[in-house]
């Protein structure tokens, strides 16, 4: 019988599949969520819920009570690092024995954007806590093409130049997390999670066009225009800075490595971009 797991970020892109995956594997799962109604609609009555807010320490003890493992999903918050570290300390005090942290590719790079520095510092804090850990370091998500930068008027606008990335499907990340939290041998391990191929944005547009039968093109946006566009859309300035730093790394082609860690952990090939596009074709046809 696997140990009880608290899943944070359970109403988000990765977390909901982690909670469902664990539940399907017969694990005892508790989803720590801010919005109970949203979570209930998503999960039905299959998954236990606990009120949980990283920004409210008073919710930690109830959510963590009786939990031996945690899936830690750091949400995009300006004080993310501080909040994650406080939560790790609370998890340790509550008797948690293993944290699977969603981190990011690039933590070992010589120079890092702020979002990656936060993940690296939180990894370090977990190491120093003495709680067993597994760090999942994914590359850019395929799902970003309908969450963060969906096509507009049949065009993908990004300041990536000819930059490429080994985009990964978040469903594969969730499968790795569920496996790591229910089987032995993953403690003190770091997995760099990538898709099976390195793609530029023009290739992404070509695959989306082939799969949907609807023509998409890539528009390589100057960085200043990308920044202004986000600010005008109401994205907070701190978040714009964070995202622009990540785009700059992508433009430099620094995150193009393809790894086999997904297959090593799950025994299954990572999803390729065409399959991802087929599975979400309806979302793209509407773009």
Residues near ligand NAP, by CB under 6 A: 9-15, 34-35, 38, 52-55, 73-76, 102, 104, 115, 138, 140-141, 144
CB-CB contact of 46 with 28 (8 Å): no
Q: Which is nearer to ligand NAP, 144 or 275 (CB)?
A: 144
CB of 138 to ligand NAP, least distance (A): 5
Q: Crossing angle, helix 80-93 and helix 114-129, to 10 degrees?
A: 20
The tokens of 126 are what? 């977990």
The tokens of 142 are what? 């395929």
Q: Which is nearer to ligand NAP, 1 or 58 (CB)?
A: 58
For residue 157, give every residue at least 6 positions away whose Cβ sits within 8 Å of its Cβ, in sequence order, or none: 149, 219, 221, 226, 229
The answer for 18, left when phi > 0, alpha when psi is -120 to 50, beta otherwise, is alpha
CB of 5 to ligand NAP, least distance (A): 15
Q: Which is nearer to ligand NAP, 62 or 215 (CB)?
A: 62
In the 8-state DSSP scheme, what is residue 193?
E
CB of 139 to ligand NAP, least distance (A): 7
Q: Which is nearer to ligand NAP, 15 or 195 (CB)?
A: 15
Q: Which parts of 108-200 fold into alpha helices (H)?
A: 114-129, 170-182
Q: Which is nearer to ligand NAP, 26 or 252 (CB)?
A: 252
Given the structure tokens 């949907």, which residue do they identify? 212
18-46 in b/e form (b: 16+ CB < 10 A) is: bbbbbbeeebbbbbbbbeeeebeebbeee
Q: Which is nearer to ligand NAP, 24 or 55 (CB)?
A: 55
> With the C-alpha atoms ordered 160, 161, 166, 168, is the resulting torsion angle positive or negative?
positive
CB of 52 to ligand NAP, least distance (A): 6
Map residue 22 onto helix, strand or coil: helix
CB of 73 to ligand NAP, least distance (A): 6
Determine the residue with CB nearest ligand NAP: 12
CB of 247 to ligand NAP, least distance (A): 11
Which DSSP helix (H) or strand (E) runs through 255? Answer: none
């Amino acid at each position: 019988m696997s140990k009880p797991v608290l899943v944070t970020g359970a109403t988000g892109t990765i977390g909901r599949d982690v909670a469902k995956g664990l539940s399907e594997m017969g694990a005892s799962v508790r989803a720590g969520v801010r919005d109970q109604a949203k979570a209930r609609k998503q999960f039905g009555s299959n998954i236990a819920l606990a009120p949980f807010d990283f920004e409210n320490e008073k919710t930690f003890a109830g959510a963590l009570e009786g939990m031996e493992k945690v899936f830690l999903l750091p949400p995009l918050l300006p004080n993310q690092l501080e909040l994650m570290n406080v939560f790790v300390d609370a998890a340790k005090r509550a008797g948690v024995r293993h944290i699977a942290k969603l981190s990011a590719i690039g933590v070992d790079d010589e120079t890092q954007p702020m979002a990656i520095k936060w993940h690296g510092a939180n990894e370090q804090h977990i190491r120093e806590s003495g709680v067993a850990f597994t760090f999942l370091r994914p590359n850019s998500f395929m799902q970003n093409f309908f969450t963060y930068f969906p096509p507009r008027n049949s065009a993908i606008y990004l300041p990536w130049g000819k930059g490429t990335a080994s985009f990964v499907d978040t469903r594969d990340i969730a499968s790795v997390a569920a496996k790591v939290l229910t089987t032995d041998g993953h403690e003190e391990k770091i997995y760099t999670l990538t898709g099976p191929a390195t793609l530029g944005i023009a290739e992404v547009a070509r695959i989306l066009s082939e799969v949907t039968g609807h023509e998409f093109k890539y528009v390589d946006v100057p960085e200043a225009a990308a920044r202004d566009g986000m600010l005008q859309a109401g994205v907070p300035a701190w978040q714009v800075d964070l995202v622009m730093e990540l785009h700059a790394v992508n433009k430099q082609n620094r995150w193009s490595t393809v790894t086999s860690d997904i297959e090593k952990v799950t025994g299954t090939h990572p999803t390729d971009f065409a399959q991802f596009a087929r599975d979400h074709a309806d979302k793209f046809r509407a773009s």
